[in-house]
Copies of this chain bind each other. A is one copy, B any other.
Amino acid sequence: MAAKKQVIKETVGARIRSLRIASNLTQDEFAHKLGVSRSAIAQWETDRAGQIRDNMERIAKVLNTSMAYLVSGESGSLQGDELAMMNLYRSCTSEDRQILLRTAKRLAR
């Protein structure tokens, strides 16, 4: 109810828009991929409405990012292929993680 004009420049909407454009998607195409209306996208990107969690997860997947980045904008958050690599690594058993680490050590210059 209180006025909540954010001083923070980087908003969730700004990050969504930035990543959508980086993916060469129009709002319409993006909406179709997510299964929501285009006007919902427009409102997300202008921070007029939030997103329920299910949609946040889909957004992160389609834009190859993490919910953590969308929500927080933390620069340390992994993106793209680095995120994919870490997700795979985390879903491995500890034995397989050691295999990956050894392989990476061998390949790294």
What residues make up the interface of A, taking CB atoms closer than 8 Å to B? 4, 12, 50, 52-54, 56, 66-69, 71-72, 74, 76-78, 81-82, 84-86, 88-93, 96-97, 99-101, 103-105, 107-109
* Overall SS of chain A's interface: helix
- Do residues A105 and B77 form an inter-chain contact, with CB atoms below 8 A? no
Q: This chain: how many copies in the complex? A: 2
- Do residues B85 and A104 form an inter-chain contact, with CB atoms below 8 A? yes
- Do residues A72 and B67 form an inter-chain contact, with CB atoms below 8 A? yes
- Do residues B99 and A89 form an inter-chain contact, with CB atoms below 8 A? no
Q: A4 → chain B, closest Cβ, in Å?
A: 8
Partner of A85, one of B12, B71, B84, B86: B86
